Amino acid sequence: VQLQASGGGLVQAGGSLRLSCAASGRTFSRNAMSWFRQAPGKEREIVAAFRGINGNTYYALSVKGRFTISRDDAKNTVYLQMNSLKPEDTAVYYCAAGSSGGIASTLRTVNFYDYWGQGTLVTVSS
């Protein structure tokens, strides 16, 4: 199983980026899939998540209203559309997939996820 993240880059504050995470080796249509990020010197934190069973989404308060997570099950791919980017959004972004659909309390935890992408760097300049 592999998760391949892409789409990171350098963008000015207020700009947009779209991250993609393509899964191979198995399908994740009924599994939780999420985006985390890790800034230098900080712990990895949840950004957005799809609960696998019902497709409900979860967003960190810091990105709610600016970021949108979506998935294309036919392509086995999850996306993160990031708008109105801020310098504090600068981080390495990781996609992750769980072995189950997950519940609200577990979606936000790193330990829930069994599969991780390699990370893609997002840098937002002021």
Burial of 40 (0-12, 13-18, 19+ CB in 10 A): exposed
At 53 the pLDDT is 78
Q: What is the pLDDT of residues 73-109, one digit of tens each?
A: 899 999 999 999 999 999 999 999 998 888 878 889 9
At 104 the pLDDT is 79
Q: What is the pLDDT of residues 55-75, one digit of tens each?
A: 889 999 999 999 999 999 899
DSSP H helical segments within 1-126, as ranges?
Answer: 104-107
pLDDT for residue 27 is more than 90: no
At 123 the pLDDT is 98
Strand, coil or helix: what is 23? strand
